Amino acid sequence: MSPTSPMPPQTSFLSYVTPSPTSPWGTYLSQVDRVVPYLGELGRWAETLKRPKRALIVDVPMEMDDGSVRHFEGYRVQHNLSRGPGKGGVRYHPDVTLEEVMALSAWMTVKCAAVNLPYGGAKGGIRVDPKLLSLKELEKMTRRYTSEIGIIIGPQRDIPAPDVNTNGQIMAWMMDTYSMNTGATATGVVTGKPIHLGGSLGRVKATGRGVFVTGREAARRLGMSLDGARVAVQGFGNVGSSAAELFAQAGAKIVAVQDHTGTIVNTGGLDLSELMPLLRREGGIGTFAGCEKAADEDFWDVDCDILIPAALEGVITAARAHRIKAKLVLEGANGPTVPEADDILHDRGVLIVPDVICNAGGVTVSYFEWVQDFSSFFWTEDEINVRLDKIMVDALRKIWDTADRHKTTLRTATFAVACERILIAREERGLYP
């Protein structure tokens, strides 16, 4: 085409999603727009960040226990592979969509670069309520999904891990299915595996530990003592409960917890030595006795110093941002704060440690697991935790310096640090052909 002839209109699979200002992909796009002014010359590559490299939609048909056949929709999106293989979890949830998985994959790209792991970003999911499946059905669905995405995953290509409603057992089935299909045991194809299958010590609690480490550092900078600090946790799965335990060990009081079974409050501090066994037994906190029960919406008014959203995207809306009492918000979840709420909290002087650094502890220990699998040499839990602490502290320090230099929020600073690394790799590799 000659330089003067008009370009034909560009079509793209991006037209299959209709992001809004508060939807996950819309939230991500606005976060990218905010960082572009700080990228200098690298900004010419910024469009790369707004386009997932590859998105696979798969049909997952399954014969149910009652003999009927049902179809589930699954996804694997590889957002960016400039810095290494794709990395990111797999989510089973009835609200999973292509748009959500795109955003989650993009946040993985930013997160991995923020802590300087040699990975790109990816994410997967199946639109299903796994609580309605038997164990046999869960296994069948996982194995068929793994076979379907098997054409794009692999230890050097894209490495799934646990996310919402997935766990070590599901990773074991994924590893086995991939290995059966390729004819060789490939432990490095997924992380978050059980210990006997090449899993890493410390992986299960790593995301919560990272939330604690970044929270501890942020509190120190704010001059807030953790001893006696009041913490409210929204979402009490793996991330929220592990973080809560570490804050409690540091002397903080867990004053409110919310999960899918209810909202519980105790201004004197919930007794985790009783709450945790109940959580393991019942899969939720709703029936706990040592507390007051509150309406779910009232959670956002709870008097607290630290708020940890550790469930799903978009829960901190503009309306709730006005009501939040905390001075410090630690984003254990991915994408919990919509852009307008981000601005409101910032204007109110509330410090947010953003998801893309706050919850990076999980993928950091996933990286340790992957490295251990390749070398077939396994580290002690102490070594894992010490290395994790150092990576998180160093990454946060660099982000904080960047925020001070540019006078931006920690979110934009994290994006600035990460996007610079991603786009330098992009530029150095060059455009092919």
Can you tell me which of 146, 191, 238, 408 binds ligand GLU, judged by CB under 6 A? 191
CB proximity list for 432: less than 8 A, separation 6 or greater: none
Residue number with CB closer to ligand GLU (165 or 191): 191
Can you tell me which of 24, 52, 85, 89 binds ligand GLU, judged by CB under 6 A? 89
Contact 333, 312 (CB under 8 A): yes
Binding mask 340-369 for ligand GLU (x = CB under 6 A): -------------------x--xx--x---
Q: Answer yes or no whether residue 161 interacts with ligand GLU by CB under 6 A.
A: yes
Q: Answer yes or no whether residue 109 interacts with ligand GLU by CB under 6 A.
A: no
Smallest distance from the beta carbon of 30 to ligand GLU, in angstroms?
Answer: 20
Smallest distance from the beta carbon of 116 to ligand GLU, in angstroms?
Answer: 15
**H or E segment at 121?**
strand 121-127
Residue number with CB closer to ligand GLU (76 or 327): 76
Residue number with CB closer to ligand GLU (87 or 253): 87
Smallest distance from the beta carbon of 167 to ligand GLU, in angstroms?
Answer: 11
Dist. CA 354–CA 367, nearest whole Å: 20
Q: Answer yes or no whether residue 409 interacts with ligand GLU by CB under 6 A.
A: no
Q: Answer yes or no whether residue 208 interacts with ligand GLU by CB under 6 A.
A: no
Q: Answer yes or no whether residue 259 interacts with ligand GLU by CB under 6 A.
A: no
Other Cβ atoms closer than 10 A to 37? 12
Smallest distance from the beta carbon of 367 to ligand GLU, in angstroms?
Answer: 8
The catalytic site residues sit at 123
Contact 311, 336 (CB under 8 A): yes
Dist. CA 154–CA 402, nearest whole Å: 35
Query: Residues 218 to 257: which contact ligand GLU by CB under 6 A?
Result: none
Dist. CA 298–CA 263, nearest whole Å: 8
Residue number with CB closer to ligand GLU (146 or 366): 366
Task: Look up residue 317 and give its amino acid.
Answer: T
Query: Residues 48 to 87: which contact ligand GLU by CB under 6 A?
Result: 87
Taking each helix axis from N to C terminus, what angle separates 238-249 and 206-222, rounded to the nearest 10 degrees? 50
Residue number with CB closer to ligand GLU (209 or 230): 209
Residue number with CB closer to ligand GLU (239 or 275): 239
| Own/partner long-range contacts of 59-65 (Cβ < 8 Å, ≥24 apart) | 59/148, 60/126, 60/141, 60/144, 60/145, 60/148, 61/144, 62/137, 62/140, 62/141, 62/144, 63/140, 64/137, 65/134, 65/136, 65/137
Can you tell me which of 100, 137, 163, 259 binds ligand GLU, judged by CB under 6 A? 163
Q: Looking at the DSSP assignment, which residues form a beta bridge with residue 161?
A: 89
Q: Looking at the DSSP assignment, which residues form a beta bridge with residue 83?
A: none
Nearest to 31 by CA among 411, 421, 356: 411
Smallest distance from the beta carbon of 247 to ligand GLU, in angstroms?
Answer: 20
Q: Answer yes or no whether residue 88 interacts with ligand GLU by CB under 6 A.
A: yes
Smallest distance from the beta carbon of 355 to ligand GLU, in angstroms?
Answer: 8
Q: Answer yes or no whether residue 334 interacts with ligand GLU by CB under 6 A.
A: yes
Smallest distance from the beta carbon of 80 to ligand GLU, in angstroms?
Answer: 14
CB proximity list for 207: less than 8 A, separation 6 or greater: 238, 239, 242, 332, 359, 361, 362
**DSSP labels, 181-245:** HHTS--GGG-SS--GGGT--TTSTTHHHHHHHHHHHHHHHHHT--STT-EEEEE--SHHHHHHHH
Number of chain residues interacting with ligand GLU (CB under 6 A): 11
Q: Select the residue whose beta carbon is closest to ligand GLU and give its number.
A: 89
Residue number with CB closer to ligand GLU (56 or 171): 171
Residues contributing to the site for ligand GLU (CB under 6 A): 87-89, 161, 163, 191, 334, 359, 362-363, 366
